[in-house]
Amino acid sequence: MVGFYHEIALKGGNRPWFLRQMGNNLKRALAGTGITTFKRDSMMATFKLKSPDQWPLVKERLEHVIGVERFGRAYRVDSTIEAIQEAVPFMLEGQNPTSFRVTARRTDKRFPMTSPQINELVGGQIIDLTGWPVNLNNPDFDLQIKTTGKDTLLSSEVLRGPGGMPVGVGGHVAMLLSGGIDSPVAAYQMMRRGCKVTFIHFHSFPLVDGTSKEKAGDLVELLTQYQQDSRLIMVPFSAAQQRIIVTVPPAYRVTIYRRFMLRIAQELALKYGAGALITGDSLGQVSSQTLENMTTIGTVADKLPIFRPLLTMDKEEIIDKARPLGTYPISIIPDQDCCSLFVPKHPVTKSRVEDVVRMEEDLPVDEMVQEALDAVEEQTYHWPPSAASKRVAEEAHSG
């Protein structure tokens, strides 16, 4: 089995660090699958399967390892044309395509034949064995041959991985997770740039039911497949909301809700060592995401930057990313989130910082923030399950 990672190969002097993190993530993802003989270089990693029965589980795991551009099963043979030709019949077993091609890459220039010569010789062998027609542009079956020094890899399947950079090389960020469609996609976008994400969810339980909390947990559990360990911080927000409702004019409530959320999230991000705050904001999508309101809301985050990876995307573009990610069915489950509670018919769309600051003068801001921080609940998630079970057992033993 072989996995390729493209972007890491472009990282110059930092490549060894990226490769170490990629290797650690791969080993963690494949824990419990029975994989042996792990090797990696600047362009790919190879693993040895003991049995074909391992493949379905290995495939499922690799589909969630960020940094893997493509992968597939391959056969390893000696780097001689005789060994390659001897393996060809095995590669053809069970295949019945309408056309084929051979794609050879002679990465080891010591191999005595050029890539076109390998293509011609092996292609002729396949025609003699099967009679299949050749199609160089759009074949049903593509036999790929790659010489890599002491050995050669033969494969006929290429599966797509998530791509991106390995989680852990891009720093640590804190995500304001709403439970809707946008924020899980934003979190995944940050993971693909190598970031480790801590999730912060604000809920209004018991003023509303616990659906949003359940959704947040389900979303984090799913997204943990891509970063292997996650922390979800549940922040009770109903007490703050009740104070805001009786003090702030209806049109400004959502804006001030969000300012308090950012204040609380910033303190939590600093506590857990995150270097930035992430939101699922998309410019102009809702009233709180106009340029003016995002500016007014963002001024309270005075210690950390705010990143908005979905800022220029429309709703359909975001949904198109949420569907394959698997978060969409969870996100559309009906619930009442914090900002949908007591929403006015006509919320302000062009707030001014000075107006909102004046309204907040009637609120005990620091006290409200601290009350929320004192009541947070924390949950942790681990993937894959085998690694999580091992960690729990080790912690229990050490205790």
**pLDDT one-digit tens code per residue, 131-160:** 999 999 999 999 999 998 778 999 998 899
Same domain, 90 and 205: no
Domain end marker among 134, 160, 186: 160
* pLDDT range class, residue 339, cuts 50, 70, 90: low
Residue 43 Cα to chain centre, angstroms: 21
Structure tokens at 217: 């947990």
Amino acid letter for position 73: R
Say whether both 212 and 258 belong to one domain.
yes
Say which residues have a Cβ less than 8 Å from residue 357's Cβ, sequence separation at least 6.
none
Q: Does 60 share its domain with 184?
A: no
User: Which residues touch 62 (CB under 8 Å, ≥6 apart)?
Assistant: 3, 29, 30, 68, 71, 159, 161
Which pTM was predicted? 0.88
Determine contact, residues 287/346, Cβ cutoff 8 Å: no
- The answer to whether position 396 is within a domain reads no
User: Left, alpha or beta for 34 (phi > 0: left; psi -120 to 50: alpha)?
Assistant: left
- Can you list the alpha helix ranges (DSSP code H) found in the chain? 15-29, 55-62, 81-92, 115-130, 182-192, 211-227, 238-247, 253-271, 291-298, 315-325, 328-331, 353-360, 365-374, 385-398
Mean pLDDT of 101-108: 92
117 and 198 both lie in a single domain: no
Number of domains in the chain: 2
Q: DSSP character for 76?
A: E
Strand partners, 39: 46
Examine the domain organization and report whether 240 and 385 are in the same domain: yes
Distance of alpha carbon 183 from alpha carbon 219, whole angstroms: 10
Same-domain status, 147 and 65 = yes
Judge if 329 and 357 occupy the same domain.
Answer: yes
**pLDDT (average), residues 187-213:** 92
Is the distance from CB of 289 to CB of 390 less than 8 angstroms? no
What CATH number is given to the structural domain containing 358? 3.40.50.620
Q: 238, 221, 298, 296: which is closest to 265 by C-alpha?
A: 298
In a domain, 381, yes or no: yes
What value does the mean pLDDT take over residues 315-320?
Answer: 97
pLDDT band at residue 388 under the 50/70/90 scheme: very low
Residue 314 near residue 289, CB atoms below 8 Å: no
Within a domain: 207: yes
pLDDT for position 281: 96
Chosen domain end from 160, 195, 217 = 160
Q: Is residue 167 part of a domain?
A: no
**Three-class SS state of 371:** helix
Q: Which residues of 30-65 are buried (b: 16+ CB within 10 A; e: fewer)?
A: bbebebeeeebeeebbbbebeeeebeeebbebbbbb
Q: Output 118-123 pairs: Cβ under 8 A, ≥24 positions apart.
A: 118/81, 118/84, 118/145, 121/81, 121/85, 122/84, 122/85, 122/88
**99 and 210 assigned to the same domain:** no
Choice among 63-77, 164-178, 191-205, 215-229 with the minimum mean pLDDT: 63-77
Average pLDDT, the chain: 90
**Nearest residue to 7 (alpha-carbon basis) of 95, 68, 89:** 68
Is 211 part of a structural domain of the chain? yes
**What pLDDT does 342 receive?**
61
Which residue range is the domain that position 299 belongs to? Answer: 172-391
Q: Which pLDDT score, from 0 to 100, does residue 399 have? A: 39
Higher pLDDT, 77 or 334: 77
The answer to whether residue 69 is domain-embedded is yes
Q: Please, which pLDDT band fits residue 45 given cuts at 50, 70 and 90?
A: confident
pLDDT band for 5, please (50, 70, 90 cuts): low
The reported pLDDT for the residue numbered 1 is 52
The Cα–Cα gap between 215 and 321 comes to 18
Q: How far apart are CA 76 and CA 54, in angstroms?
A: 17
Q: Provide the CATH number for the domain around residue 59.
A: 3.30.2130.30
* One domain, residues 125 and 191: no
Q: Which of 26-40, 67-81, 290-304, 380-394 has the lowest mean pLDDT?
A: 380-394
User: Residue 293: inside a domain, yes or no?
Assistant: yes
Residues contacting residue 144 through CB under 8 Å, at least 6 positions apart = 102, 103, 104, 105, 153, 154, 155, 156, 158
Whether residue 142 is found in the same domain as residue 217: no
The answer, yes or no, to whether residue 395 has pLDDT greater than 70, is no
Please, are residues 199 and 216 in contact by the beta-carbon 8 Å criterion? yes
Structure tokens belonging to residue 353? 């910082």
From 160, 195, 214, the end of a domain falls on 160
Of 147, 151, 144, 160, nearest to 37 by C-alpha is 151
Angle CA 292–293–295, to nearest 5: 65
pLDDT score at 396: 34
Q: How far apart are CA 190 and CA 170, in angstroms?
A: 9
Q: Within a domain: residue 166?
A: no
- Cross-strand bridge partners of residue 72: 2
pLDDT of 344 reads: 72
74: helix, strand or coil: strand
Find the helix packing angle between 238-247 and 253-271, rounded to 10°. Answer: 150
210 and 77 housed in the same domain: no
Same domain, 202 and 95: no
Backbone angles phi, psi at 33, to 5 degrees: -90, -10
